[in-house]
Structure 1
Amino acid sequence: MSSLHEKEILLIDDAPEARMLARKILEVDGAIVSEASTIDDGINLIRNKVPHLILVDLEMPVRSGFEFLTVREGDALFKTIPTIVLSGRKDRESIQKVIAFGANDYILKLFRAILLLQKVRKVLMLISFYSRKIVSETKLDATFSI
């Protein structure tokens, strides 16, 4: 899989240690990482500069990752940004709920570096593929409607 060279990733997590670990892993692969320690700070960062991907912790004080996903689904801009949820929850119900709320993937905390990189690369690659496919089909439709 390709590297994350210059891909901008927003990491929203209240735990400084978790942010530092994820940041180091992603930056070694070439990503540009921004951090927020609260959902509201993350939303403000997104409004100022749209990242290629968001990593968000599920369990946070004040507003949870579920609340972020709800905001994301209701906002036309946010909805287009691929989002991966990080959580210590292992139960099937939480994972299914996260996916139902529109997250692109789910990673259990205490992840291995290679797993984080693989999942981030996979989601970005799929989004890129589908974006190119939509543009290609739109051009094809425009050609036949002339």
Structure 2
Amino acid sequence: MSRVEQPSVLIVEDEPAQREVLNYNLEAEGFVVTSAENGDEALILVDEAQPDLIVLDWMLPGVSGIEICRRLKSSSKTRSIPIIMLSARAEEVDRVRGLETGADDYMVKPYSVVELMARIRNQLRRTRPASVGERLEYEDIILDAETHRVTRDSKPLKLGPTEFRLLSTFMEKPGRVWSREQLLDRVWGRDIYVDTRTVDVHIGRLRKALCEHGGSDPVRTVRGAGYALG
């Protein structure tokens, strides 16, 4: 059965016990987890491989969580990454400050891990809906991430696992141009070496499957940049 690559989460937390609990629970839920114990390390990790979501502690040694949030949200490369801020600051003014800095959500310590997981999935429904089993639609194409079925004009399509992941990536953000390197990172994973020409091969297979029952090719080649849906 084809599988949508699980979202990656970066934990930025300086308390080892808190970091370990978060890491354990996120991995148990199937997320790909990396962690940092300070702001400088977090910025390096984000630059190396952008996560799908960041769980960020406010109080960090060195660069604070608020400053990390401000920097990430002020950059066009990282502003779309959801950030859930954790803080022992429970006053309304602190919540407002965190959200106004750019945090997408704010949780006060001590927090419920179950609630945090729910909030993480809620953020990912907005940015990576296929990864949490959502149904995606683009024109006459329907992708059901939970049942791993794809139809076009109500006719079932036969996609291999890689083609399914490619299509789900495209359908999450129609119109966005993905470079070959970005597709390798999202579809094949960060720890697997695959030649960029392999992307072209699988794009060709995806196009063939999408046009199996007729219809125009919805995948657009952007010369010198990559591929996009529509």
Q: 1:90 to 1:132 in 2, by over 3 A?
A: farther
Cα distance, 1:128 vs structure 2 = 3.3
- Percent identical: 25
Structure 1 match to 2:174: 135
Q: Report which of the two has the higher share of helix.
A: 1
1:78 aligns to what SS in structure 2? Answer: coil
User: Mapping of 1:9-48 within 5 angstroms?
Assistant: 9-48=9-48
Q: Is contact 2:73-2:79 (8 Å) kept?
A: yes
**In structure 2, how many angstroms separate the alpha carbons of the residues matched to 1:107 and 1:33?**
19
Partner deviation per Cα, 1:66-124 (whole Å, 9 max, x = no partner): 11111112211121111110111111011011111111101122212211110000011
Structure 1, unaligned runs of 5 or more: 140-146
Give the TM-score, by structure 2 length: 0.54
Q: Is contact 2:127-2:172 (8 Å) kept?
A: no
**In structure 2, how many angstroms separate the alpha carbons of the residues matched to 1:7 and 1:68?**
21
Q: Which amino acid in structure 2 is aligned with residue 120 of structure 1?
A: I
**In structure 2, how many angstroms separate the alpha carbons of the residues matched to 1:33 and 1:53?**
10
Q: Is contact 2:9-2:33 (8 Å) kept?
A: yes
User: Mapping of 1:49-128 within 5 angstroms?
Assistant: 49-128=49-128
**In structure 1, how many angstroms separate the alpha carbons of the residues matched to 2:173 and 2:18?**
36
Q: Which amino acid in structure 1 is aligned with residue 69 of structure 2?
A: L
Q: Which amino acid in structure 1 is aligned with residue 61 of structure 2?
A: P
2:117 aligns to what SS in structure 1? Answer: helix
Give the TM-score, by structure 1 length: 0.83
Q: Which amino acid in structure 1 is aligned with residue 29 of structure 2?
A: D
Greater shift after overlay, 104-113 or 81-90? 104-113
Q: Which amino acid in structure 2 is aligned with residue 122 of structure 1?
A: N
Instruction: Give the number of the structure with larger relative contact order, counting CA–CA contacts within 8 Å between residues 6 or more apart.
Output: 1
Cα distance, 1:133 vs structure 2 = 7.6
Runs of 4+ in structure 1 over 4 Å off: 131-134
Partner deviation per Cα, 1:54-73 (whole Å, 9 max, x = no partner): 01100112111111111112
CA RMSD of aligned residues (A): 2.4
Q: Which amino acid in structure 1 is aligned with residue 9 of structure 2?
A: I
> Larger radius of gyration, structure 1 or 2?
2
**In structure 2, how many angstroms separate the alpha carbons of the residues matched to 1:132 and 1:100?**
30
